Structure 1
Amino acid sequence: MSLHPHKAIWISWYPHRRTSGICQEWGVPLKVIDSSRDGVIGWLCKGLKTLNMLRRWKPEVLFVQNPSLGLTILAVLSRSYFKYFLVVDAHNEGVKPFVRSSTFVRRLVRFLLKHADRTIVTNESLARVVTEVGGRAIILPDPLPAPTFTPEYKTFDQQQTNNVVVICTYAPDEPISDILAAAEKLPDKSFVCTGNIEKFNRLGLSAPGNVRFTGFLPDKDYWALLLSADVICDLTLMPDCLVCGAYEALAVGRPMVLSANSATRELFGSVAILSEPTPSTIAGALKYAIDNKSELSKKTAKEAEVYKVKWTSRSEQCVKTIKSEIARQDH
């Protein structure tokens, strides 16, 4: 499936597994624009690089990833000049701001949703928001990632059995303190938390003795860690959010404990153990998942194959919708 004969490019201001996966499936060149500068200066540097790239490529179809908010603003404001068909792949923050949720940001997000030609979102709840503000939504969950792991690669060295891998970035939407409290209730279980340890340290939290932190892991080490898990846990306070860890757990066929929001229940409810963000419910969900890990692993592996087929169909429909909309505008 591809957007041929239309000349397309996907621009992002930071790498993301979802973006690279979709680009690979659709044959769309992905350009990740970076800068060594932070803040406003970083935005300006990346903005200039983006404009230069648009001048060189002259795309008929431009895909951008939101976040970044700055990139999406630039793409919307430049659309009439470069005359491209603009498709925004909007993550939760690009539809229902949670971390940066000021009135100004919410209004800006609504403006961007309204003025993109199409907005891709992961679930029906987000699609309704896009439609309500006058935008045009397409629903496409993430493709299943392909683990960069080979049998020759050494599996991550765990301390004991009953291993829980917790996917963390230490962002404001993650109930880290509740997860640590749940770990304290399960002293016979080994917890390994991923993500930048400096961000965890800034939270000022203490961890029980059965919790370890990996810090940043290269991709092969990360997948080896997931494959060593008895259970993978990825929780969010963000409503209607489908977390990356859910797709990753499905890809490696491991039991998963996820947040009990409507989008997660709809997409992963047949295989995931869903939990509210309290220490007791998290601990109970993890214990159940570990106690039933053999059965859950089999169900997850089977569901992964079903998911791939369904995703391919959804992806093909997404491409058809975009091409049809381009053809309609051309006439």
Structure 2
Amino acid sequence: MLKVDNGLYIVWKVYQRRVESIGGKLDLVVKYIHYSWEEKSKFFKALSYILKLCVTLAHFIRYRPKVVILQLPPTPLLYLGWLYCKLSGATLVADCHNAMIQSFWVKWPLVSKMLAAPTSVLVHNEQVLDSAHQIGINAVVIRDPLPETSNLEDSVEKWGLEKDGYVLVPWNFAPDEPLEEFAEAARLTPHIQYVSTWFVERLSSHLRNSMPENILFTGFLEADDFNCLFANAGAVLSLTTREGTQSSAASEAISFEIPLVLSDIDTARKLYKDAPVFVQNTPISIVKGIETALKNRPVLRKKLAELKVTMDEELNAELTTLIKLLNLNCKNI
């Protein structure tokens, strides 16, 4: 058995910038549980949950954490984490993405009971907080931390790219991302290089075969390569059709000070003010937004730098509240 001073952060994904940042600031042991083959289909995804439950249980037995933080969804992870905390007396923290609160995951049996006190529930922004309150869940807001941006490579030649010469599209091909509209926007701008950084297997065969040639699919990248592509991009495109979504790519773009093109939703307007370029989820609007971002890089980078200072201050205040709530001993805040 290994002792963990502050707690264990369990994530059933390959990587999450939010987890890395919060885990680092709170001195948590972070465990990712993911298999590349699970991205091939919904059947394999469901099958992977069986293995992930076993691995998660092994982590609980090995570390015996007094604080357990679970990134949700999926709901099966909540069931196991809640049971462990109930039996061991550990404190349970549910770090809920908006999909956990606003979609079918929260409708699974007993979820409302498990997300009630004494469980601490974290959400990403005030809009998701309102959604949680509407279904009787009390929560606190912890925004996505801004990642560290030191020790970055400045060469993207191994991908056949030039610095500032491409638009980064760091999506995960989720249902709320307007993929067909993006593909059409790329067709309308054959002179612009786009770079996608997720598992291409997640795309349907129809979409995969219809993507224009000016989109480069790198597949999933390790953190150093991903950071390198981000820091050297001319602009970043992050789109969603779902209100309440706080884009991880937005936090990364702000940290790297890379011009950002976002879907025009209330959540993004409230979080990021006038620092991004806002667009509608239509091909023509997306094209205009990308062209605006590329033409106005100095002005937009200055706005992002100013926003970064404000967001860091707000996040540190939120994390300080969480540290007191969980009685953690942290040296990084």
Q: TM-score range by the shorter chain?
A: 0.7 to 0.9
The structure-2 alpha-carbon separation of the partners of 1:53 and 1:218, relative to structure 1 and needing over 3 Å to count, comes to closer
Deviation at 1:175, TM superposition (A): 0.6
Contact kept? 1:149, 1:224, Cα under 8 Å:
no
Distance 1:60 1:131 in 2: 27
Distance 1:121 1:102 in 2: 15
CA displacement 1:135-177 (0-9 Å, x = unmatched): 2201011111124753575565426965222222222221111
Q: Does 1:16 align with 2:16?
A: yes
Q: Gapped runs of 5+ residues in structure 2?
A: 39-43, 329-333
Q: Does 1:234 align with 2:234?
A: no
Give the SS at the match of 1:217: coil
Residue of 71, 84, 92 corresponding to 2:90: 84
Q: Gapped runs of 5+ residues in structure 1?
A: 325-331
Range 290-299 or range 119-128, more displaced: 290-299
Deviation at 1:319, TM superposition (A): 1.9
Q: Residue 70 of structure 2 aligns to which amino acid in structure 1?
A: V
Give the SS at the match of 1:114: coil
Q: Residue 248 of structure 1 aligns to which amino acid in structure 2?
A: E
Deviation at 1:183, TM superposition (A): 2.0
The structure-2 alpha-carbon separation of the partners of 1:108 and 1:24, relative to structure 1 and needing over 3 Å to count, comes to same
Range 227-236 or range 193-202, more displaced: 193-202
User: What residue in structure 2 maps to residue 317 of structure 1?
Assistant: 321
User: What residue in structure 1 maps to residue 182 of structure 2?
Assistant: 179
Distance 1:17 1:90 in 2: 15
Q: Does 1:202 align with 2:205?
A: yes
Residue of 68, 73, 84 corresponding to 1:62: 68
User: What residue in structure 2 maps to residue 328 of structure 1?
Assistant: none
Give the SS at the match of 1:215: coil
Deviation at 1:6, TM superposition (A): 7.3
Give the SS at the match of 2:116: helix
CA displacement 1:107-129 (0-9 Å, x = unmatched): 66545433661110000111122
Range 24-33 or range 83-92, more displaced: 24-33
Q: Residue 10 of structure 2 aligns to which amino acid in structure 1?
A: I
Residue of 170, 173, 189 corresponding to 1:170: 173
Q: What does residue range 249-288 of structure 1 map to in structure 2 within 5 Å? A: 249-288=253-292
CA displacement 1:289-309 (0-9 Å, x = unmatched): 112112111221232233222
Deviation at 1:269, TM superposition (A): 2.5
Contact kept? 2:193, 2:215, Cα under 8 Å:
yes
Q: Residue 11 of structure 1 aligns to which amino acid in structure 2?
A: I
Q: Does 1:189 align with 2:195?
A: no
Contact kept? 1:162, 1:290, Cα under 8 Å:
no
User: What residue in structure 2 maps to residue 224 of structure 1?
Assistant: 228
Distance 2:64 2:264 in 1: 44
Distance 2:91 2:256 in 1: 36
User: What residue in structure 1 maps to residue 129 of structure 2?
Assistant: 127
The structure-2 alpha-carbon separation of the partners of 1:157 and 1:28, relative to structure 1 and needing over 3 Å to count, comes to same
Distance 1:202 1:160 in 2: 31
Contact kept? 2:198, 2:220, Cα under 8 Å:
yes
The structure-2 alpha-carbon separation of the partners of 1:198 and 1:141, relative to structure 1 and needing over 3 Å to count, comes to same
Q: What does residue range 69-108 of structure 1 map to in structure 2 within 5 Å? A: 69-97=75-103, 101=104, 104-105=107-108
Give the SS at the match of 1:257: strand
Residue of 36, 46, 49 corresponding to 2:55: 49
Give the SS at the match of 2:262: strand
Q: Residue 8 of structure 2 aligns to which amino acid in structure 1?
A: I
Give the SS at the match of 1:237: coil
Contact kept? 1:88, 1:118, Cα under 8 Å:
yes
Give the SS at the match of 2:190: coil
Distance 2:211 2:51 in 1: 39
Contact kept? 1:175, 1:277, Cα under 8 Å:
yes
Contact kept? 2:263, 2:280, Cα under 8 Å:
yes
Deviation at 1:323, TM superposition (A): 3.6
Aligned residue pairs, count: 316
Give the SS at the match of 1:212: strand
Distance 2:322 2:226 in 1: 30
The structure-2 alpha-carbon separation of the partners of 1:73 and 1:148, relative to structure 1 and needing over 3 Å to count, comes to farther
Q: Residue 267 of structure 1 aligns to which amino acid in structure 2?
A: L
The structure-2 alpha-carbon separation of the partners of 1:204 and 1:29, relative to structure 1 and needing over 3 Å to count, comes to closer
User: What residue in structure 2 maps to residue 297 of structure 1?
Assistant: 301
User: What residue in structure 2 maps to residue 118 of structure 1?
Assistant: 120
User: What residue in structure 2 maps to residue 247 of structure 1?
Assistant: 251
Give the SS at the match of 1:31: strand
Distance 1:217 1:317 in 2: 34
CA RMSD of aligned residues (A): 2.8
Distance 2:252 2:106 in 1: 34
Contact kept? 1:183, 1:208, Cα under 8 Å:
yes
User: What residue in structure 2 maps to residue 30 of structure 1?
Assistant: 30
Distance 2:91 2:193 in 1: 49
Normalised TM-score (structure 2): 0.84
Q: Residue 79 of structure 2 aligns to which amino acid in structure 1?
A: I
